[in-house]
Amino acid sequence: MELRLDEIVARFGGEIVGAGDTAIARIGTLENAGPGDLAFLANPKYRPQLKTTRAAAVIMAPPAVDGPAAAILTPQPYLYYARVAQWLNPLPDPEPGIHPTAVIEGEVAATASIGSNVWLGPGAKIGERVVVAANCSIGAGVEIGADSRLAANVAIYAGCLVGARCLIHSAAVIGSDGFGFAREADGAWVKIPQVGRVLIGDDVEIGAGTTIDRGALGDTVIGDGVKLDNQIQVGHNVRIGAHTAMAGCVGIAGSAVVGARCTVGGGTVILGHLQIADDVDLAAGTLVTKSIPNAGSYSGAIPFLEHGDWLRNFSRLRHLDAMADKIRALEQRLAALEKKS
Amino acid sequence: MELRLDEIVARFGGEIVGAGDTAIARIGTLENAGPGDLAFLANPKYRPQLKTTRAAAVIMAPPAVDGPAAAILTPQPYLYYARVAQWLNPLPDPEPGIHPTAVIEGEVAATASIGSNVWLGPGAKIGERVVVAANCSIGAGVEIGADSRLAANVAIYAGCLVGARCLIHSAAVIGSDGFGFAREADGAWVKIPQVGRVLIGDDVEIGAGTTIDRGALGDTVIGDGVKLDNQIQVGHNVRIGAHTAMAGCVGIAGSAVVGARCTVGGGTVILGHLQIADDVDLAAGTLVTKSIPNAGSYSGAIPFLEHGDWLRNFSRLRHLDAMADKIRALEQRLAALEKKS
Amino acid sequence: MELRLDEIVARFGGEIVGAGDTAIARIGTLENAGPGDLAFLANPKYRPQLKTTRAAAVIMAPPAVDGPAAAILTPQPYLYYARVAQWLNPLPDPEPGIHPTAVIEGEVAATASIGSNVWLGPGAKIGERVVVAANCSIGAGVEIGADSRLAANVAIYAGCLVGARCLIHSAAVIGSDGFGFAREADGAWVKIPQVGRVLIGDDVEIGAGTTIDRGALGDTVIGDGVKLDNQIQVGHNVRIGAHTAMAGCVGIAGSAVVGARCTVGGGTVILGHLQIADDVDLAAGTLVTKSIPNAGSYSGAIPFLEHGDWLRNFSRLRHLDAMADKIRALEQRLAALEKKS
């Protein structure tokens, strides 16, 4: 596929600087782009590379600068890049049909593509143009909306619903039992049947190895447009609002409610039964131990240090209370002295 | 399935308040229950919902209160709820037999159910009424005890033993190599063959995406009744005592020994070669860096803050040692002044 | 397989103490070894066990001590043990051939072994003596170098390259999409196509459930001899230098560059776009928030405490800034008093 700058601008807007008939075959980084590559400047840190880039053209915010052979000026170069990249890299059309080794006990739309050794349980429904890659296991009664794609080796338990245009990566698990047990007097655990479902909206992306438990009573709900990176754990009855995005290795305990348009940094843990408001940004590595009723940015991770400095400083953590006591004692003794003098 | 309150009490004990012939079809939450639903009050925070619930009856601790149409009084309502829920939601009986696409090189009990495209290695033994769902891979010599269930896409390596009545969720891995290497002078690593096994007791639940490494020499041992949530990593030669429960995303490094009846919060990491006593409770997000010889509750996670507060406070962590020095200097100067005055 | 001490020393060096014709059948621990077992002393903590071990011989650093029936003296007993253990536990030779249930659209070397229900996409190439266990899914154009082994249920996306002598454990995912989205004004996310690959060098081990995303533009690169434990998340365009080893549950965000011969403790998180020098050791549970230009040891995790102590001390963290202010005020008041007196 090859595009001209003026074709791109006709579709996505922006202003061309230089030759409108510049041919574009690929997207590249400022540093590594060559002829035929369209690069972009989104992070000011890379601005010096404008002088040396060999890209055919650069997507950037105005004003135009010397350097690139040509440019598209737009107020949001990263978003513009995303759109052009999608146009240049269209998803391959699924090859409709069911591989002869797949075991199909449910219904598959005629335009869907089912890979080898897939299992589809009774009553399950696969929508139009859905792609299910090899070795996926899809339980009874699961429904998958039009144009969704499952990479290889995904497991979806019985009864879960997946919306349209979703993308689910390998080794993801949807609908496993939540972690619910009552304790007997001797410490043994009695399992609480997990009879809810997982409901996944439209345009959701779920990363490799991410696990989403079904509800205990009621459902676990992932809103439209939610983006979950790899190895995220979502407990039973969690609700995640629309367009919230979470980086890798996040854990969300049962019944937590996360609002819409939140961003959650990698490795953050949200404890159970908490409520997080809309538009909350959580820094990486934060342990969220109470509800957050207001939008804003929150952090909880601690700085790392060279090991010797760490030993000196962090060992003090065990004595913070004693330090506070000493300060209070000093204040009292000093006040007494001040009175005297 | 429909039950009457008096049938439930005849089986599990407790005292009925209201009509014993109240019909129960399902379990529900106080908030969402409707006619035919049995709700429960386990967390005092939800007590106000007793006034408004539409549940047919409520399981709760005595004394009886006005509000619910009927009630079962019991000192342990959560445990009682678990038992009734199990009765109302019995596990489906496995359909005995081996799917024709399964590749069976081992032995399968006549009452077991083996799903499509399962691989069972030579010498492996599958017990009575075991269910193995689609696309599981079970290595040579593995033994799985009666009534255990494997969800789809589980992998068990050669030689591991799984007890009776276990439940293993999708994408779990049992028996992968432990992380054992010796280092050469130039920094390269020499692999240490991992020749032990994983031994899993009875009544163990293993969450989706949880990984348990085989022993290097000797075995990794998971005790009876242990409950592991999703995405837990268990290193080689770890031993976990009976009825210990761990929430999601916990990591346990090699050769750590965790006692019986412990509870471990989500995201906690236990370093290698440590000994944790019986009946230890570890809060979420704790890094356990030394052995814990005594039962009790231990914590190590830090509070999160609004980002500005965090910047102000946590940057001080790098200077705790200096703060301690300043306090000591103040104490000396003050003592000198006090002597003088 | 049985070896004599003098055969071992002929191959690996070291000095025999005792009878050179001592027969060795297995490796064992000092504590559990019996007749025919070769034990080793690598950790001084276990030195007292030399008195009581029933091992046929012990690998240890000089000087010889009384106790063991025989010994091999070597300056690096752990490395020596690794080599002997490899000799005693050779990898089983793959049984060449393709299981009839495998779906092969690519090329497989005649000496390779492909398990049941494997899917191999068009254009993929499997090298000599490679073992691919059951239910693996290997995308179009993937190449796997000679003598590499994939455990069951591994997924490799299209276009990724794996070197020679690699070992990839179950539920690992190679080549899933990186987490790249641009944000629209209303908070919705526009996916950035992830068109790079994952390039894995020779002699790499990848743990169970570990996920490695493909590059967005350009590739994600794992150097020769890298060892990744279980449940590690590697973001798009990350580069990891040769012989770096990472323990379980580590997360590395996109475009981070980790040097050669680093060691990374369990649960550590490295943020995106950072540069970590060669020969850096990161302690378990560290959040790396800025680049580390120099070799050395770095830490960031905090000590855990008995819960009551933790409450007393860690609540102070929220008031560190106020404590620093109080110390400064005390210093000023004291200076004023000192001037007066």
What's the pLDDT tens digit per position in B202-214?
Answer: 999 999 999 999 9
pLDDT at residue C80 tops 80: yes
**In terms of CA atoms, which chain A residue is nearest residue B223?**
A188
Contact C231 B217 (CB under 8 A): no
- The answer, yes or no, to whether residue A188 has pLDDT greater than 90, is yes
Which amino acid, B72? I
Element of type H or E holding C310: helix C307-314
Mutate to test the interface with B, among A105, A173, A307, A325 (most CBs of B within 10 A): A173
Residues of C in Cβ contact (< 8 Å) with B191: 82, 86, 167, 205
Residue ranges making up the domain that contains C18? 3-88
pLDDT higher than threshold 80 for residue A341: no
The number of beta carbons lying within 10 Å of the beta carbon of residue C181 is 18
Closest CA to B176 of B222, B214, B225: B214
Which of A118, A168, A176 has the most B C-beta neighbours within 10 Å, making it the best mutation to test the interface with B?
A176
Residue C269 has a pLDDT of 97
Q: Please give the torsion angle defined by the CA atoms of residues B263, B269, B273 and B278, in that order, rounded to the nearest 10 degrees.
A: -10
Cα atoms in the 13 Å half-sphere on the side-chain side of B177: 23
Place of tokens 């739309």: A109
**Which of B169, B177, B195 is the best mutation test for C, with the most CBs of C within 10 A?**
B177
Looking at residue A106, what is its pLDDT? 98
From chain B, pick out residues whose CB is under 8 angstroms from the CB of A289: 284, 301, 303-304
Question: What CATH number has the domain bearing residue C116?
Answer: 2.160.10.10
Residues of B in contact with A341 (CB under 8 A): 341
Neighbours of chain A (3+ CB pairs under 8 A): B, C
Indicate if B145 and B249 belong to the same structural domain: yes
Boundary (domain end) residue, out of B65, B88, B111: B88
Q: Which of the four pLDDT bands, split at 50, 70 and 90, describes residue B258?
A: very high
Mean pLDDT, residues B76-95 taken together: 93
Predicted pLDDT at B67: 87
- A13 and A115 inside one domain: no
Q: Decide if pLDDT at B200 tops 90.
A: yes
**Pairwise CA distance, residues B219 & B175, whole Å:** 10
Contacts of B134 in chain A (CB under 8 A): 103, 119, 137
Distance from CA of C186 to the nearest CA of B (A): 23
Q: Which two tokens stand for residue A248?
A: 């890798």
**Same-domain status, A155 and A36:** no
Positions of C marked catalytic:
236
- For tokens 């060691």, name the residue: C263
Are A84 and A168 found together in one domain? no
CA angle, residues B70, B73, B77, in degrees to nearest 5: 110
The residue among A58, A88, A118 that closes a domain is A88
Q: What pLDDT score was predicted for residue A302? A: 84
Who among C152, C307, C334 is closest to B299 (CB)? C307
Q: Which residue has the higher pLDDT, C1 or C325?
A: C325
Partners of residue A122 in chain B, C-beta under 8 Å? none
CA angle at B337 for the pair B335 and B340, rounded to the nearest 5°: 110
> Could you tell me the pLDDT band of residue A247, with boundaries at 50, 70 and 90?
very high
Per residue in A300-323, pLDDT (tens digit) is 988 889 999 998 888 888 889 999
B299–C310 CB contact, under 8 Å: yes
Of A289, A207, A212, residue with least CA distance to B248: A212
Nearest to B33 by CA among B54, B11, B6: B54
Closest-CA residue to C155 (of C202, C121, C199): C121
Same-domain pairing of C144 and C61: no
Residues 6+ apart with CB under 8 A from B230: A173, A176, A179, A211, A213, A233, B169, B207, B208, B209, B210, B248, B249
C183: number of Cβ within 10 Å: 17
Residue with tokens 């309502």: B77
Which of B236, B243, B273, B307 does the annotation list as catalytic?
A: B236
Which token pair is B107? 């032995």
Work out the pLDDT band at C138, boundaries 50, 70, 90.
very high
**B57-60 β-sheet, strand order:** B15-17, B71-73, B57-60, B37-40, B26-27
Per-residue pLDDT for A340 more than 90?
A: no
> B156: distance to nearest CA of chain C, Å?
9
Question: Smallest Cβ distance to B303: which of A235, A300, A340?
Answer: A300
Distance CA A248, CA A17 (A): 39
Which pLDDT band holds residue B317 (cuts at 50, 70, 90)? confident
- C319 phi, psi to nearest 5 deg: -125, 20
- pLDDT digit string (tens) for B137-152? 999 999 999 999 999 9
- pLDDT value at residue C103: 98
B179/C248 Cβ within 8 A:
yes
- Measure B203 CA to nearest chain C CA, in Å: 24
Q: Which residues are C103's β-sheet partners?
A: C119
Q: Which pTM was predicted?
A: 0.96
Q: Which of A236, A273, A307, A319 is catalytic?
A: A236
Sign, CA torsion C71/C75/C77/C81: negative
CB contact (8 A) between residue C269 and residue A285: yes
d(Cα C94, Cα C114) in Å, to the nearest integer? 9
Share of chain B above pLDDT 70, in %: 100
Q: Are residues A78 and A159 in the same domain?
A: no
Chain B residues touching C303 at Cβ < 8 A: 289, 300
User: Can you give the pLDDT at residue C93?
Assistant: 84
The answer on pLDDT for A144 being more than 80 is yes
Are B70 and B22 spatial neighbours (Cβ–Cβ below 8 Å)?
A: yes
Instruction: Flag whether pLDDT at A63 surpasses 80.
Output: yes
> Where among B55, B88, B121 does a domain terminate?
B88
| Interface with chain C: mutation pick from A31, A229, A232, highest number of C CBs within 10 Å | A229
CB count within 10 Å of CB A165 equals 18
- As given in the structure block, the two tokens for residue B138 are 């079970």
Give whole-number Cα distances, A17 to A67, A77, B38, B178, in Å: 11, 14, 69, 57
Q: Are A166 and A212 in the same domain? A: yes
% of chain A with per-residue pLDDT over 70: 100
Question: How far is it, in rounded angstroms, from Cα B295 to Cα B289?
Answer: 16
Going by pLDDT thresholds of 50, 70 and 90, the confidence category of residue C230 is: very high
Question: Do the Cβ atoms of C158 and C175 come closer than 8 Å?
Answer: yes
Which token pair is B247?
């929430």
User: How many degrees, rounded to 5, is the angle at CA B148 between CA B142 and CA B150?
Assistant: 75
Distance (Å, rounded) from C-alpha C181 to C-alpha C216? 10
How far is residue A228's CA from residue B227's CA, in Å, rounded to a whole number?
A: 26
Which chain A residues contact residue C317 at CB under 8 A?
A: 317, 320
C141 vs C131: CA distance, rounded Å: 18
Mean pLDDT over each residue of chain C, to the nearest integer: 95
User: C260 and C329 in one domain?
Assistant: no
Q: What are the structure tokens assigned to A197, written together?
A: 């479902």
Tell me which chain C residue has its CA closest to the CA of residue A229.
C179
Q: What sections of chain B are H helices per DSSP?
A: 5-12, 77-88, 307-314, 320-340
Name the closest residue on chain A to residue C182, using Cα atoms.
A79
Say whether pLDDT at C27 is over 80: yes
Separation between Cα atoms, residue A65 and residue A78, nearest integer Å: 18
Q: Chain A to chain C, count of Cβ pairs less than 8 Å apart?
A: 236
**Could C285 and B287 be called an inter-chain contact, meaning their C-beta atoms sit closer than 8 Å?**
yes
Q: Is A137 helix (H, G, I), strand (E, B) or coil?
A: strand
Please give the residue of chain B at the shortest CA–CA distance from A286: B304
* Residues of chain C with C-beta less than 8 angstroms from the C-beta of B314: 317, 320
Sequence-distant (≥ 6) Cβ neighbours of residue C168 within 8 angstroms: C148, C149, C150, C151, C154, C156, C162, C174, C205, C206
Q: What are phi and psi of C114, to 5 degrees?
A: -115, 125
Q: Would you state the pLDDT for residue C341?
A: 74
Mutation for B interface: C83, C89, C170, C204, most B CBs within 10 A: C170
Asked if residue A274 has pLDDT above 90, the reply is: yes
Residue B330 has its nearest CB partner, among C89, C133, C330, at C330
CA distance C239 to chain A (A): 16
Nearest residue to C201 via CA among C175, C222, C218: C222
Do B101 and B77 share a structural domain?
Answer: no
Return the residue of A nearest to B118 by Cα.
A117
Confidence band of B340 (pLDDT split at 50, 70, 90) = confident
Dist. CA B161–CA C210, nearest whole Å = 24
Q: State the virtual CA torsion across A298, A300, A305, A310 in degrees, nearest 10.
A: 150
Which residue is associated with the tokens 């008093």?
A: C337
Q: Measure the CA–CA gap between B5 and B215, rounded to whole angstroms.
A: 50
Residue B318 has φ and ψ, to the nearest 5°, of -70, -10
Three-class DSSP category at C85: helix
pLDDT value of residue B116: 97
- Cβ of B179 and C85 within 8 Å? no
User: What region, left, alpha or beta, does residue C141 occupy, with left being phi > 0 and alpha being psi -120 to 50 degrees?
Assistant: left
> Average pLDDT for residues C166-184, to the nearest whole number?
97
Give residue A173's region: left, alpha or beta (phi > 0; psi -120 to 50): beta
Q: Say whether pLDDT at C318 is over 90.
A: no
Distance in Å, alpha carbon of A150 to nearest chain C alpha carbon: 11
Q: Please give, rounded to a whole number of angstroms, the shortest distance from the CA of A295 to a CA of chain C.
A: 14
Q: CB–CB of A171 and B314 under 8 A?
A: no
The three-state DSSP-derived secondary structure of C112-138 is CEECCCCEECCCCEECCCCEECCCCEE
As a whole-number percent, the residues of chain C with pLDDT over 90 amount to 89
Chain C CA closest to residue B340: C341
Q: Which amino acid is at C170?
A: S
Structure confidence at residue C67 (pLDDT): 87
List phi, psi (to 5°) of A8: -65, -45
- Answer yes or no: do B62 and B165 share one domain: no
State whether C160 and C221 are in the same domain.
Answer: yes
pLDDT, position C317: 86
CB contact at 8 A, A264 and A292: no
Whether the per-residue pLDDT at A248 is higher than 80: the answer is: yes
Which of A111, A112, A22, A13 lies closest to A58, judged by CA? A22
ipTM: 0.96
CATH number of the domain where residue A67 is located: 3.40.1390.10
Domain tally for chain B? 3
Q: Are residues A188 and A153 in the same domain?
A: yes
**pLDDT at position A67:** 87
Compute the nearest-CA separation of A222 from chain B (Å).
18
Res. B179 pLDDT band, cuts 50 70 90: very high
Cβ-defined contact of C190 to A86 (cutoff 8 Å):
yes
Q: Which residue has the tokens 């063991």?
A: C68
| In the predicted structure, residue A183 carries a pLDDT above the cut 90 | yes
Radius of gyration of chain B (CA): 27
